[in-house]
Structure 1
Amino acid sequence: MAAFGMEPAEVRIPRAALDAMAAALSVQTVAMRTWPDGIEWFYPLGTWDEPHVEVALMPGGDEVWMRMSTDRTSTVIWTIEQWLDFAGQLPGATPPGS
């Protein structure tokens, strides 16, 4: 968490936003924007103009950051294990290492 000076924060991600990200991941329809700090944030394709969840894989691959587009100052941090557990439950997901 020390990377980029991030502190843990409470982030309220509406179920609909997380469901939209899950659906986008399951059919591989995510878009990406790179922020000035160099972090690449992924979001469901076609949702940029509406509230959406954004996800970034941190350098080193041991953390995944999530935030809402409506409050980019607050970020939730998942371990890669938590992320893989979430992503592995999506329709059409392949097991890690496949």
Structure 2
Amino acid sequence: MAGIEREPAELRIPRTALDAFAAALSVQTVAMRTWPDGIEWMYPLGTWEEAHLEVALMPGGEEVWLRMSTDRSNIAVWTIQQWWDFAGRLPGARPPQD
């Protein structure tokens, strides 16, 4: 996003949180919540009250941000290609449309 500078951060995503997000994404049960800064974060439906992974697709489609609900100050940044590689390995995944 324009104007937002991010310091490189180490973000530890527990395997269970990544697996839960992948499972929710593969069966299309992802909920969304918009933060006051206008960024819309996706998370596995029904997990808001427990530790969960949150993912935001950045405007322009070049970056995907990931963060844990337990530490929203640290964000991992993936390229869109890294995101497609991840999403492409999910059960029932379809290749991205060009």
Tell me what 2:24 maps to. Answer: 24
Q: Percent identity?
A: 76
Letter in 2 for 1:24: A
Letter in 1 for 2:62: D
| Structure 2 segments unaligned to the other structure (5+ residues) | none
Tell me what 1:63 maps to. Answer: 63
Number of equivalenced pairs: 98
Tell me what 1:86 maps to. Answer: 86
Tell me what 2:48 maps to. Answer: 48
TM-score (norm 2): 0.95
After TM superposition, give the deviation of residue 3 of structure 1 in Å: 4.4
Tell me what 1:12 maps to. Answer: 12
After TM superposition, give the deviation of residue 8 of structure 1 in Å: 1.9
Give the match's secondary structure for 2:18. helix
After TM superposition, give the deviation of residue 2 of structure 1 in Å: 6.0
Give the match's secondary structure for 2:4. helix
Distance 1:3 1:18, change over 3 A: farther
After TM superposition, give the deviation of residue 5 of structure 1 in Å: 2.3
TM-score (norm 1): 0.95
After TM superposition, give the deviation of residue 7 of structure 1 in Å: 2.1
Letter in 1 for 2:15: R
Give the match's secondary structure for 1:11. coil
Q: Distance in 2 between matches of 1:80 and 1:34?
A: 21
Distance 1:62 1:3, change over 3 A: farther
Post-superposition Cα deviations, 1:44-64, rounded to whole Å, max 9, x if no partner, equal 000000000000000100000
